[in-house]
């Protein structure tokens, strides 16, 4: 902690939502807060997403039953025992409230003793997405209730108390959390800009307060840092479009899209953490490689399909129809997102394709996607921990959270069969499931329903107290932050 005082942090959202126990942080700080306040039975490895011990020291999946064996000596933040019955109450309350995407599949949950949690699911073998969601669901105090903020007690390593404009987070007695105590202040454009210019805050999260693509100058010694976030940028094709229904045309567009060049152009970094799937790089189910880019091959493929620029206007046509599309995307608080559409348009112009950006409000975009009022779209997917909860495909899910998330119209019977097999593999062992998902992604790449770009970076603004060398301890963690998961 700088100068022995609580770390001063300003951020982009009302963190009270984390009291509800929703495992859905969308930025590094919210992820840190959620993980600090509310522990879970298991926690994903930040690099591979494989579930590892947390409140539970071991677990097993057999048919429709998941058993978690708790560590000894678990307590709430006020020192009271945290028992298996408390965890069961938390999971059933979340299910009954319609939370999560797959908790509806919990048929029963019991606590045979204070250190054992048994969850029985309504399918055998178990739907692995439900196993994952149960394992990583944040444990909150059901006595306090969801609406209580600050929470009266937590299952994590911190207690929280209100400030005039935010909250103070303090380590629970006996814990050794990495950040010590810290104060979180609600964001405003005025406060954020002033804090960055004067260095009065140690950390600012997010850049919605910016009015340009580049951060304004901060106090001497301050530093802006881009981190890999949970939102994944992809380029989607509407597959029932008269032209985009042609797999060969989609493959040409995929080959002609260079994610690394887009990254360097828009985000100013030398290397792009390129996606090979709708999964974070390094995820246990992500394939090692994806085809492309190859501009020459893309041009040859378009020519072989009969698309040529016969009138010299720079746009290919065939039978009187031009390769002229709109790329639809949501207006964003981060101007770099809009700049991505312009950079993509320039790339496609080199293919002989006109791509015109259309920016619309996020709520309107969602409606248009479902109604098919689009051709090509830049989308930011917030993918969950388990791959069979992905938005491109999904095993059948019923209940209050059921929804049609496959807006592109992807329908590949062979790929779906492989995905369902992976999603219901007995025991839900990642090492056994990974080859099935690799085969699934091979089939997806051959179909080219999307171009997988990169994780969208999220920016942190480090004040002089923690950005100036020597950077040790907490500042080092700032470069390694990864959100726990997103539902």
| pLDDT digit string, tens, across residues 270-297 | 677 789 998 888 899 999 888 879 999 9
What is the rounded CA–CA span in Å between residue 42 and residue 183?
Answer: 27
Burial (CB count within 10 angstroms: exposed 0-12, middle 13-18, buried 19+), residue 448: buried
Give the confidence band of 404 by pLDDT, cuts at 50, 70, 90: low
Crossing angle of helices 128-136 and 413-423, in 10° steps, is 50
Each residue's pLDDT tens digit, 4-38: 678 888 876 566 555 555 554 455 666 667 777 88
Q: Per mean pLDDT, which range of 41-50, 236-245, 354-363 is the poorest?
A: 41-50
Residue 329 in this model has a pLDDT that exceeds 50: yes
User: What proportion of the chain, given as a percentage, has pLDDT over 70?
Assistant: 85
69, two tokens:
């064996």
Q: For residues 1 and 180, is the Cβ–Cβ distance under 8 A?
A: yes
pLDDT in tens, 99-144: 888 899 999 999 999 999 999 999 888 889 899 999 999 898 876 5
E-only strand ranges, 427-486: 450-462
d(CA 126, CA 440): 20
pLDDT for position 292: 79
Neighbours of 69 (CB within 10 A): 16
Supply the Cα-derived Rg of the chain in whole angstroms.
24
For residue 153, the model assigns a pLDDT of 83
Task: Show Cβ contacts of residue 262 under 8 Å, excluding neighbours closer than 6 positions.
Answer: 272, 340, 343, 344, 347, 453, 454
Are 263 and 272 in contact, with CB atoms under 8 Å apart? yes
pLDDT for 386 equals: 79
Lowest mean pLDDT among 341-345, 412-416, 443-447: 412-416
- Report the relative pairing of strands 223-237 and 321-322 from DSSP bridges: unpaired
Cα–Cα distance measured from residue 14 to residue 20, given in angstroms and rounded to the nearest whole number: 12
DSSP-derived letter for residue 63 is: T
**Dihedral angle, C-alpha 422, 424, 427, 431, nearest 10 °:** 10
Name 51's bridge partners: 44
- Reported pTM: 0.86
């Amino acid at each position: 902690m700088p100068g022995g005082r609580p770390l001063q942090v300003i951020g982009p959202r009302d963190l009270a939502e984390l009291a509800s126990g929703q495992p859905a942080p969308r930025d590094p700080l919210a992820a840190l807060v959620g993980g600090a306040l509310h522990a879970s039975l298991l926690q994903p490895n930040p690099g591979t997403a494989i579930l590892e011990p947390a409140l539970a020291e071991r677990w097993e999946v057999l048919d429709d039953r998941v058993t978690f064996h708790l560590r000894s000596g678990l307590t709430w933040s006020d020192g009271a025992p945290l028992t298996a019955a408390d965890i069961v109450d938390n999971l059933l309350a979340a299910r009954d409230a319609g939370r999560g995407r797959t908790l509806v599949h919990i048929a029963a949950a019991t606590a045979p003793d204070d250190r054992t949690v048994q969850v029985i699911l309504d399918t055998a073998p178990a739907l692995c997405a439900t196993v994952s969601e149960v394992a990583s669901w944040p444990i909150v105090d059901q006595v306090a209730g969801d609406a209580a903020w600050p929470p009266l007690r937590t299952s994590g390593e911190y207690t929280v108390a209100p400030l005039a404009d935010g909250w103070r987070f303090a380590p629970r007695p006996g814990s050794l959390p990495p950040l010590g105590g810290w104060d979180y202040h609600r964001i405003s454009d005025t406060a954020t800009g002033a804090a960055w210019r004067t260095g009065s805050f140690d950390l600012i999260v997010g850049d919605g307060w910016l009015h340009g693509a580049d951060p304004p100058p901060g106090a001497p010694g301050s530093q802006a840092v881009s981190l890999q976030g949970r939102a994944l940028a992809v380029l989607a094709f509407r597959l029932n479009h008269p032209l985009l229904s042609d797999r060969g045309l989609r493959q040409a567009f995929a080959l002609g899209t260079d994610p690394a060049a887009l990254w360097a152009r828009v985000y100013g970094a030398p290397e792009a953490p390129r996606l090979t799937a709708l999964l974070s790089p390094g995820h246990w189910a992500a394939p090692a490689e994806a085809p492309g880019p190859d501009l020459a091959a893309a041009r040859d493929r378009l020519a072989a399909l009969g698309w040529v620029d016969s009138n010299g206007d720079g746009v290919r046509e065939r039978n009187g129809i031009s390769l002229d599309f709109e790329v639809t995307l949501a207006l964003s608080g981060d101007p770099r997102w809009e700049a991505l559409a312009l950079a993509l348009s320039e790339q496609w112009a080199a293919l002989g394709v006109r791509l015109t950006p259309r920016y619309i409000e996020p709520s309107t975009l969602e409606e248009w996607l479902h109604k098919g009022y689009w051709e090509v779209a830049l989308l930011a997917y917030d993918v969950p921990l388990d791959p069979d909860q992905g938005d491109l495909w999904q095993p059948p899910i019923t209940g209050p959270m059921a929804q049609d998330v496959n807006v592109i119209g992807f329908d590949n019977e062979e790929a779906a069969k492989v995905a369902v097999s992976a999603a219901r593999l007995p025991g839900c062992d990642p090492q056994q499931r990974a080859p099935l998902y690799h085969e699934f992604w091979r089939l997806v790449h051959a179909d080219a329903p999307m171009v997988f770009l990169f994780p969208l970076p999220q920016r942190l603004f480090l004040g002089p107290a923690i950005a100036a060398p020597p950077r040790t301890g907490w500042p080092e963690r700032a470069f390694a932050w990864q959100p726990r998961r997103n539902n």
